[in-house]
Structure 1
Amino acid sequence: MTATVPPLAEVARSTTALRAFLHGLPGVDQVGAEQRAAMLGTRSIKTTSKAWALDLAIRMVDLTTLEGSDTPGKVKALCAKGRRPDPTDADCPPVAAICVYPSMVATAVEALRGSKIHIASVATAFPSGQAPLEIKLADTRAAVKAGADEIDMVINRGAFLSGRYLEVYEEIAAVKEACGSAHLKVILETGELATYDNVRRASWLGMLAGGDFIKTSTGKVQPAATLPVTLVMLEAVRDFKALTGTTIGVKPAGGIRTAKDAIKYLVMVNETAGDEWLHPDRFRFGASTLLNDLLMQRAKMATGRYSGPDYVTLD
């Protein structure tokens, strides 16, 4: 980042100062971002590196179910799969987290007891975010009280797109405080932000307000995660680290379904932000079906045979 910026403590002192900072960020070259993302997506990975990448991608998965039809039984089954993604292979790593609605957190806590898998919960009137702040804070506190150690919140896109940046900042900061010791992932819902410049501004806003991760999408709006959008977000966390010394994570979510796609993202992480982000504490995949393809590709590398969809459970 080449722009000269004021001390970050001063950025959010007023609506005018925050707007000036966000609109003073370097603009995103749309053509350049899309071409670079496409170029990085063509990189090939050799056998040993591919095996390492598949295991890393599994360790980065936030295995997710966010349906109105979710039941305790479904969540328990998902937790069991997260613990032992491949029951036939004890060397297969567990996932990073199980992500559920607040009402299912207690079920996940019991099912994951004794494991190191994180329990993530969407909150703040997910996925629309259209609720009063006091309800969003109560939603967050309830999920944390039930045992969630990660909260995925949605920003107020209406306020952001209307230029009410300080309102969005203050809401994120309030949710962060309500999280207590739990980590906060700030969902930008990039499919509704329209431009890469808005994605960059929203990324910085989420980081300035205290987010531990910035996340692309709820998975309920299309387009969800894309390589160019994630590239812009990775550039933002890289530049934020250079400016502040603080490392913020990135989570693309929605539409990442194949091992081939996951590896493209890992290449982009390494080439854009650096290998510090090649860790589940710094990069996650929000997904419900990606894990199945990672397992099938992993088995193919081990056996030389493609097992097909019957090899894995349906989620």
Structure 2
Amino acid sequence: MATLLSGQLLFAALVSGALYAMVALGLNLVYGTLRLLNIAHGDLVMIGAYVAFWMLASFAVPPVVSLLIAALVCGLFGLAIYQGLFKRLLAKPELAKRVEANSLILFYGVSVILQNVAALAFTSSSRGYQYLNTVYTFGDVTATGNRLLLLGVAAAVSLSMLLFLRLHLFGWALRAVIERKEAARIVGVNVDRVQAMTIAAGFAIAGMAGVLVSMTEQITPFMGFPFTIVAFVVIIIGGLGNIGAGVVAGFALGFVETYGIAFTSASYRSILIYGLFVAVLLMRPEGLFTKAVRS
């Protein structure tokens, strides 16, 4: 019981929750704005991780700088995907519905391509590096510098996005597109610009999350799928397209996973995550933090 009430366990839950919230934030932005199920989202995390590894190994660029580089690389990739695949199709209502229905299959193809390109470039072997691994002690809590950085960056990115959505004019436009795309278009919102910037931002956030992951664990070309699943679980819990609730749900999942494992064992991790996912779908399919719509 002392372990369950310890600050160490609370810190571990906060780190996991902040990472999950950040990973899911990018996916939720893309789904909420474009209604595209990006099954390749976790592979963007993988790309960000390899950007950090390659920049450190080849040019001695620290991961804290690679956060910006990974954001730029993944953001430009998202912009290219939008301009090359989705812009023309989403502009036509009859084609947009078909694209939305088939987006999961399309992004699955993107996922396979990214994984195989990474495997060809870096091999399938696990890679890793040491960065900010000095241990700090705060009372009964011990934490490495990289985990403190992960917690700080992930929480700051999530909070900044929430504030941006509430306080900035473009954030208001983005929220309008999420809630009522056609109504937003009628009142003068440049929907095309909002969609392009949102997919770039969603991909960039995923890339930054990958850099944070690479500081704390080994990376492989096939590491992305678990992050995709976690992101989908988080946005289902919070409600599809509900950005603020998704951030809260990310932290909630981190706490459920961390304390659940402490009560049981690490082998129950998948059961806890998928069990919570199924329970929410059965009891609150619209999401725990979304008001139910009455017909």
- With normalisation by structure 1, the TM-score equals 0.24
Larger RCO (CA within 8 A; separation ≥ 6): 2
- With normalisation by structure 2, the TM-score equals 0.25
Bigger fraction of residues in helix: 2
